[in-house]
Copies of this chain bind each other. A is one copy, B any other.
Amino acid sequence: MESIFALAGQNLSSPIILSFVLGVFAALARSDLSFPEAAAKAMSLYLLFAIGFKGGASVAAYGLSLNLGMAILAGLFLSAVLPFVAFFLLKILTSLDTTNAAAVAGHYGSISIVTFVAGTSILEAQGIASEGFMVAVAAAMEAPAILSALWLVARSKAGQTNGGAQFDRRLLQEILFNGSIVLLVGSFLIGAVTGERGLASIESFIVAPFQGVLCLFLLDMGLVAGRGLRDGGRVLKPGIFVFGVVMPLIGAMIGLALGAAIGLSAGGVALLMVLSASASYIAVPAAMRVALPQADPAIYLTLSLGITFPFNLVIGLPVYVAVAQALLGGSS
């Protein structure tokens, strides 16, 4: 326990966390500091490309263990099931109606790729190895949660009246081929195909400056999250807030159990915990606006970006890594 606090303390004093904190502070202080939308999007494309490519290259280097298939299945399962857990918890903790609860639940089954990236950074800093294919698992976890959320609405009374969930083939194709899935899987495959030689040719672009770009990106996320908290704070009833902190812990525990069961390494388990604990704030909100327009975006965006993301970043990540390492790591 003590060492977990020490880890959290050390994590807290890393440039990436402090950059996020700076962003939140600037937004709360109503500074006009801001990143152009194009710059934010460019950084996110860079991070997706780099993390995917590195994962693929590492698979090429260390071989594709049989676990890949299992891990992807585990990811699909987690993404599909966690929304039910989240929905149940929301019904206990909050007074959200079915539509809003399902919309929020969908976010928690899906993932936040930047949380994943921050998780890999911590692993690297602590010298803990992890399976390169975990980025493919991340990609696999993006979408199923959306279907679960829509199903939750469809089978309810709200789903039968009032338009309900607007689901169709088009939405399905948008979800499956959304930009981050395509880029993540695509660059993963490119990394896997080109391997060491490919990595060597672009290493000084995707490896060396990675941490620095991540700092600026987290600064931007801090600005956006802080703005969200400032403007969307009204939705933050205590029950909702509690959900935003408890749900990631529950998700992480389920991820831990499943990751250990399928025999991932300590690092891989930590990453599966991170994925389970994290909540989407890009792909799922867009899908929800199309499919569940009645759900209030202020609720799911504030929860996902304003509560759970910072919680994971600052407290969750070092805890998940420490727990995985304690239970499954050889030494440490």
A39 to chain B, nearest CB (A): 4
- Known contacts A13-B194, A49-B219, A205-B213; decide if A182 and B29 are in contact (CB<8 Å): yes
Check A18 against B177 for contact (C-beta < 8 Å).
no
Closest to A53 in B: B15
Q: Which of A26, A38, A125 has the most CB of B within 10 A?
A: A38
A33 at the interface (CB under 8 A from B): yes
Q: Which residues on the B side are within 8 Å of A14 (C-beta)?
A: 194, 198, 201
Counting CB contacts under 8 A, is A41 at the interface? yes
Q: Is the CB of B15 within 8 A of A186?
A: no
Q: A154 interface residue, CB < 8 Å from B?
A: no
Number of copies of this kind of chain in the complex: 3
A215 at the interface (CB under 8 A from B): yes
B198 and A202 contacting across the interface, CB-CB below 8 Å = no
**Is residue A30 within 8 Å, beta carbon to beta carbon, of the partner chain?**
yes
Q: Is A95 an interface position by the 8 A CB rule?
A: no
Contact yes or no, B213 A15, CB < 8 A: no
The answer, among B19, B31, B38, for a CB contact under 8 Å with A37, is B38
Given A204-B208, A204-B212; A186-B25 close (CB under 8 Å): yes
Residues of B within 8 A of A97 (CB): none
Q: Is A32 an interface residue (CB 8 A)?
A: yes
Q: Is the CB of A13 within 8 A of B215?
A: no
How far does the Cβ of A230 sit from chain B's closest Cβ, in whole Å?
13
Tell me the chain A residues, 1-37 only, with Cβ under 8 Å from chain B: 13-15, 18-19, 22, 25-26, 29-37
Given A49-B219, A201-B211, A216-B46, A183 and B33 contact (CB-CB distance below 8 Å) = yes
Q: Is the CB of B45 within 8 A of A42?
A: no
Q: In the complex, A111→B131 CA distance in Å? A: 44
Closest-CB distance, A50 to chain B (whole angstroms): 8
Q: Which are the 10 A-B pairs with shortest beta-carbon distances?
A: A205-B212, A36-B38, A33-B179, A38-B38, A204-B208, A202-B212, A39-B42, A205-B209, A22-B186, A31-B177
26 interchain pairs (CB within 8 A)?
A: A14-B198, A15-B194, A19-B190, A22-B183, A25-B182, A25-B186, A26-B186, A30-B177, A31-B177, A31-B182, A34-B179, A35-B41, A36-B37, A36-B41, A36-B42, A37-B38, A38-B38, A39-B42, A39-B45, A42-B42, A49-B215, A125-B201, A202-B212, A204-B204, A204-B209, A204-B212
